């Protein structure tokens, strides 16, 4: 009996009275105004589809995974989306491991309804073979710390994780074209989910018979509140779901006011999520682009360098909607950097700073005799060129237009990787040859440049 008593939340009568009297004068215990959200931070892990959200003291992490399954009988050409929640006992003394309690099930249901009923995630694009196999997306939400308002935080976590999740590319192949081959992420670039809009859940707490309403209640306010309502809206103003499970009665005017406030807050939170996802995506793309251009420094030939920039641009425009000239500039900078610099670049501002610094030492590092230097440097570049060939293949598969142009370069690179010792001086002589050609005969130079730059 004592154990159970020890694990419940204790609120004194003083606190209860104080929270209500303070709210009567529009004051909240942590100093917020009634319609202020707590500070929201969205972070991502190294893997695609993992997110960590902190809303004040509340801390939630989410993971998205996918699997090929048989579709439901009544929806043979749609994928499935399922939400699982885990209320870890470290979050709150009243959470117990094992079977989820009432509030856990309610939370999962509200998040699920917001995504499914509003068709935020496109299900039909998850179909691989109609009636036989579709992608099943599973979202796992773990509550790490309960500081109040778990529904909002869990919803944001799920949205952030889904926005950065990438499912493997799969094609049909095999003997009779019936088998489905799931491609490794190294071989073929995985695809994002198609998300039409972001449904944001906004929770309201009611006090003193439904007269006072606050947004984003903390743990203490949740113990004291009389009723709670969650409105899931998106930034277009559509109401995706409303949840009010018991509690005090509320007038219809109050509910309309809540919906209006919710749509304002939803726009704000949507922009925060989108910014965080964009930062993550640019960083992710940079990680890939850096891998390519770090091998370019070994090859030294200028026409090839220009080729790679264009390909890098195509990758970026494929993966992201907006075309920005920043990656182009950064990949130019990266070309000048030596192989050993492998720092993680987080923001675009940092990227620009990074670009300028290597330029200072740029010309002195760029040494045409670099390839002759040490054997371990050569060995390192050999390792690097290995993954380069694989990624080159994946780029080829992606951009069919560039397939023709890719192949001659692909051929040159593969030949380089085989005989690296020879390639160094050969490229040097290539460079020397092009310069000499510029002086001697224009016809020979024209044919050479047309072969490499086409």
Partner 1 sequence: MPHHKLAAGIPCRICSLPFALPRSSAPTRSVPKETLTSEMNAETSDAPPTSLVDRTVVPGDTVLDLTAMASQTIKLGAGLRQDCDTISVMKAGKLRLSKPNKYWVESSHKRYVPCVEDTVLGIVVDCKPDNFLVDIKAPTLAFLPVLAFEGGTRRNIPKFEIGTLLYVRVVKANNSMNPELSCVDETGKASEFGQLKDGYMFETSTGLSRMLLSSPTCPVLEALGKSLSYEIAVGLNGRVWVNASSPSTVILVSNAIMNSESLSGVQQKIMVEKLMQRLQ
Per CB under 8 A, 14 contacts partner 1: yes
Structure tokens at 437: 């050609």
Q: How far is the CB of 26 from partner 1 (least distance, A)?
A: 10
Q: How far is the CB of 15 from partner 1 (least distance, A)?
A: 6
Residue 167 phi/psi, 5-degree rounding, is -100, 150
25 versus 376: smaller Cβ distance to partner 1? 25
Sign of CA dihedral 242, 247, 249, 254: negative
Structure tokens at 174: 């095999």
Per CB under 8 A, 12 contacts partner 1: yes
Sole window of 14-22, 52-60, 294-302, 418-426 interacting with partner 1 (rule: CB under 8 A): 14-22
| Cβ 180 vs Cβ 128: under 8 Å | yes
Structure tokens at 57: 């003291």
Distance CA 158, CA 83 (A): 9
Per CB under 8 A, 21 contacts partner 1: yes
Per CB under 8 A, 105 contacts partner 1: no
Per CB under 8 A, 6 contacts partner 1: yes
Sole window of 19-27, 62-70, 106-114, 183-191 interacting with partner 1 (rule: CB under 8 A): 19-27
17 versus 446: smaller Cβ distance to partner 1? 17
| Cβ 417 vs Cβ 392: under 8 Å | no
Sole window of 15-23, 55-63, 168-176, 306-314 interacting with partner 1 (rule: CB under 8 A): 15-23
Spell out the SS3 assignment of 137-171. EEEEEEEEECCCCHHHHHHHHHHHHHHHCEECCEE
Sole window of 25-33, 197-205, 262-270, 337-345 interacting with partner 1 (rule: CB under 8 A): 25-33
Sole window of 27-35, 87-95, 162-170, 408-416 interacting with partner 1 (rule: CB under 8 A): 27-35
Per CB under 8 A, 5 contacts partner 1: yes
Distance CA 22, CA 27 (A): 5
Per CB under 8 A, 4 contacts partner 1: no
Distance CA 181, CA 391 (A): 18
Distance CA 88, CA 42 (A): 20
* DSSP one-letter string for 190-240: PEEP-B----EEEEEEEETTTTEEEES--HHHHHH-SEEEEEEE-TTS-EE
Per CB under 8 A, 15 contacts partner 1: yes
30 versus 47: smaller Cβ distance to partner 1? 30
Per CB under 8 A, 11 contacts partner 1: yes
Distance CA 134, CA 67 (A): 8
Q: How far is the CB of 92 from partner 1 (least distance, A)?
A: 14
Residue tagged 């500081």 (tokens): 147
Instruction: Identify the DSSP state of 347.
Output: S
Sole window of 29-37, 184-192, 284-292, 350-358 interacting with partner 1 (rule: CB under 8 A): 29-37
30 versus 117: smaller Cβ distance to partner 1? 30
| Cβ 414 vs Cβ 423: under 8 Å | no
Distance CA 24, CA 208 (A): 9
Between strands 200-207 and 212-215, the pairing is antiparallel
3-state secondary structure of 417: helix
Give 81's strand partners: 137
Cα dihedral 111, 115, 265, 86 in deg (nearest 10): 20
Per CB under 8 A, 25 contacts partner 1: yes
Instruction: Identify the DSSP state of 337.
Output: S
Per CB under 8 A, 29 contacts partner 1: yes
Per CB under 8 A, 17 contacts partner 1: yes
Q: How far is the CB of 257 from partner 1 (least distance, A)?
A: 24
| Cβ 446 vs Cβ 439: under 8 Å | no
| 136-155 binders of partner 1 (CB under 8 A) | none
Residues contacting partner 1: total by CB under 8 A = 20
Q: How far is the CB of 322 from partner 1 (least distance, A)?
A: 39
3-state secondary structure of 192: strand
10 versus 73: smaller Cβ distance to partner 1? 10
Per CB under 8 A, 10 contacts partner 1: yes
12 versus 376: smaller Cβ distance to partner 1? 12
29 versus 181: smaller Cβ distance to partner 1? 29
Per CB under 8 A, 27 contacts partner 1: yes
Sole window of 26-34, 44-52, 338-346, 437-445 interacting with partner 1 (rule: CB under 8 A): 26-34
Structure tokens at 189: 């670039």
Per CB under 8 A, 30 contacts partner 1: yes
Sole window of 16-24, 131-139, 206-214, 381-389 interacting with partner 1 (rule: CB under 8 A): 16-24
Residue 382 phi/psi, 5-degree rounding, is -65, -45
Q: How far is the CB of 33 from partner 1 (least distance, A)?
A: 12
Positions that interact with partner 1 (CB under 8 A): 2, 5-6, 10-18, 21-22, 25, 27-31
């Amino acid at each position: 009996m004592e154990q159970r008593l020890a694990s419940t939340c204790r609120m004194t009568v003083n606190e209860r009275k104080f929270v209500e009297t303070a709210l009567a004068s529009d004051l909240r215990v942590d100093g917020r105004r009634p319609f202020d959200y707590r500070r929201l931070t969205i972070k991502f892990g190294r893997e695609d589809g993992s997110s960590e959200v902190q809303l004040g003291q509340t801390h939630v992490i989410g993971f998205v995974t996918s699997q090929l399954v048989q579709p439901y009988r009544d929806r043979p050409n749609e994928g499935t989306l399922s939400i699982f929640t885990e209320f870890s006992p470290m979050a709150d003394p009243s959470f117990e491991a094992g079977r989820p309690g009432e509030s856990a099930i309610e939370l999962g249901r509200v998040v699920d309804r917001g995504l499914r009923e509003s068709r935020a995630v496109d299900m039909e694009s998850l179909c691989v073979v109609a009636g036989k196999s579709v992608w099943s997306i599973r979202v796992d939400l773990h509550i790490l710390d309960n500081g109040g308002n778990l529904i909002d935080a869990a919803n944001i976590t799920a949205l952030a994780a889904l926005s950065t999740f990438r499912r493997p590319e799969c094609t049909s192949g095999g003997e009779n074209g019936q088998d489905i081959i799931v491609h490794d992420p190294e071989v073929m670039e995985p695809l994002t989910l198609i998300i039409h809009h972001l449904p944001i859940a906004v929770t309201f707490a009611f006090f003193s018979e439904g007269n006072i309403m606050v947004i984003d209640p903390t743990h203490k306010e949740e113990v004291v509140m009389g009723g709670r309502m969650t409105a899931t809206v998106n930034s277009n103003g559509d109401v995706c779901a409303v949840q009010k499970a018991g509690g005090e009665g509320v007038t219809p005017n109050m509910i309309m006011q809540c919906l209006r406030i919710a749509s304002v807050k939803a726009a704000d939170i949507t922009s925060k999520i989108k910014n965080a996802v964009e930062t993550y995506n640019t960083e992710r793309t940079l990680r890939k682009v850096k891998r390519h251009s770090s091998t370019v420094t070994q090859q030294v030939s200028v026409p090839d360098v220009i080729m790679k920039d264009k390909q890098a641009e195509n990758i970026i425009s494929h993966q992201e909607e907006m075309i920005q000239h920043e990656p182009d500039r950064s990949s130019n900078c990266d070309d000048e950097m030596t192989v050993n610099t492998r720092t993680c670049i987080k923001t675009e501002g940092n990227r620009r700073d990074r670009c300028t610094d290597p330029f200072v030492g740029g010309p002195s590092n760029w040494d045409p005799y670099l390839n002759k230097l040490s054997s371990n440097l050569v060995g390192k570049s050999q390792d690097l060129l290995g993954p380069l060939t694989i990624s080159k293949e994946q780029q080829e598969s992606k951009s069919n237009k560039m397939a023709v142009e890719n192949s001659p370069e692909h051929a040159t690179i593969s030949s380089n990787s085989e005989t690296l010792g020879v390639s160094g001086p050969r490229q040097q002589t290539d460079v020397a040859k092009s310069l000499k050609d510029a002086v001697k005969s224009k016809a020979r130079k024209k044919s050479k440049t047309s072969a490499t730059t086409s």
